[in-house]
C-alpha cells in the first residue's frame, strides 16, 4: 500500500482562509479580480468589434478566436468571485469608467491599429497577471495562473504587422507611435486605479504580516513590464 499522499488542497485551503482573515486583503483580492474581469469582458467586446475591420474571413476568425479566449478568461474570474461569495458584477462596477476612458482614448482607426492593440494589450495583461500572482494566497494565485493558461491566440498578429510594414515602411512609424500611446494610456489608467483602491494596492505592497513589494519593488515591476513591452514591439518590427 502506498504512503498516504499529503492533501495539498486542504493545506492550501487553510492558508487561503487565513489570508482572507485580513479584511483589507479580502477587499484587495475582490478589487483585483473585479478589475481583471472587467478588463477581460471589455477586451472581448473590443476584439469582437475589431473583427469587423478584418480584411478577410481568415483574419476575422483569428481575431474572433482571441475575443473568445478573453471571454473564457472573464468566465474564470467571474466564477472565482462567485466562489468567494462575491457578486462579480458588483466587484466589476467600480472600474467601468476607467475602462471606458481607456478604450475611448485608444479606439483603433483601422485593422492594423486594432491588431497592435490586441497584441500589446494581451501581452501586458499576461505580464501583469504573472507579476501580481506572486503576492497572492495559493487559491487566488491558482485562479490567476489558470486564467492565463490559454494563450498563443495573438501570435498571428506578428506575421500580419510585419507583412504590412514590408509592403509600406511608413506603416511602421505610425504603428510605433500607436504602441507608445497604448502603453502610456494603460500605465496612466493603472496608476489611477491604484490611487483609488487601497485594498488593491495592499495586495501588491503586502500587509503587517504578509510579504509584498516595497516602492523599489514596484518600480522594478514597472521596469519589467515596460521591458517586455519593448520586446513585443520589436517582435512586431516596431520601435518602442
Which residues contribute to the site for a copy of itself (CB under 8 A)? 41, 44-45, 48-49, 51-52, 56-58, 60-61, 64-65, 67-68, 71-72, 74-75, 78, 89, 92-93
Angle in degrees, 0-180, between the axes of helices 198-205 and 23-50, rounded to the nearest 10: 100
Nearer to a copy of itself, 52 or 224 (CB): 52
Burial classification of residue 209, based on how many CB atoms lie within 10 Å of its CB (0-12 exposed, 13-18 middle, 19 or more buried) = exposed
Least gap, CB of 83 to a copy of itself (angstroms):
17
Least gap, CB of 89 to a copy of itself (angstroms):
5
| Cα distance between residue 234 and residue 216, in whole Å | 27
Least gap, CB of 64 to a copy of itself (angstroms):
6
Nearer to a copy of itself, 85 or 211 (CB): 85
Nearer to a copy of itself, 58 or 109 (CB): 58
Contact 200, 194 (CB under 8 A): yes
| Cα distance between residue 186 and residue 102, in whole Å | 7
Contact 162, 237 (CB under 8 A): yes
Nearer to a copy of itself, 93 or 196 (CB): 93
Nearer to a copy of itself, 51 or 189 (CB): 51
Least gap, CB of 115 to a copy of itself (angstroms):
18
Least gap, CB of 189 to a copy of itself (angstroms):
19
Nearer to a copy of itself, 44 or 178 (CB): 44
Least gap, CB of 234 to a copy of itself (angstroms):
31
Contact 81, 32 (CB under 8 A): no
| Cα distance between residue 59 and residue 175, in whole Å | 19
Contact 39, 100 (CB under 8 A): no
- For 55, phi then psi, to 5°, come to -75, -10
Amino acid at each position: 500500500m502506498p504512503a498516504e499522499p499529503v492533501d495539498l488542497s486542504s493545506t492550501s485551503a487553510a492558508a487561503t482562509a487565513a489570508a482572507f482573515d485580513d479584511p483589507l486583503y479580502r477587499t484587495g483580492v475582490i478589487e483585483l479580480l473585479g478589475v481583471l474581469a472587467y478588463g477581460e469582458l471589455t477586451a472581448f467586446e473590443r476584439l469582437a468589434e475589431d473583427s469587423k475591420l478584418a480584411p478577410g474571413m481568415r483574419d476575422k476568425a483569428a481575431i474572433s478566436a482571441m475575443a473568445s479566449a478573453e471571454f473564457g478568461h472573464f468566465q474564470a474570474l467571474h466564477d472565482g468571485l462567485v466562489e468567494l461569495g462575491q457578486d462579480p458584477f458588483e466587484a466589476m462596477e467600480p472600474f467601468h469608467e476607467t475602462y471606458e476612458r481607456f478604450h475611448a482614448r485608444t479606439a483603433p482607426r483601422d485593422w492594423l491599429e486594432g491588431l497592435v492593440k490586441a497584441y500589446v494589450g494581451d501581452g501586458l495583461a499576461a505580464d501583469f497577471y504573472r507579476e501580481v500572482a506572486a503576492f497572492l494566497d495559493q487559491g487566488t494565485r491558482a485562479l490567476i495562473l489558470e486564467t492565463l493558461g490559454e494563450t498563443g491566440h495573438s501570435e498571428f498578429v506578428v506575421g500580419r504587422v510585419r507583412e504590412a510594414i514590408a509592403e509600406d515602411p511608413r506603416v511602421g512609424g505610425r504603428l510605433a507611435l500607436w504602441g507608445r500611446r497604448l502603453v502610456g494610456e494603460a500605465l496612466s489608467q493603472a496608476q489611477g486605479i491604484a490611487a483609488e483602491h487601497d485594498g488593491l494596492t495592499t495586495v501588491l505592497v503586502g500587509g503587517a504580516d504578509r510579504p509584498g513589494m516595497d516602492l523599489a519593488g514596484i518600480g522594478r515591476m514597472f521596469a519589467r513590464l515596460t521591458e517586455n513591452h519593448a520586446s513585443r514591439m520589436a517582435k512586431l518590427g516596431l520601435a518602442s
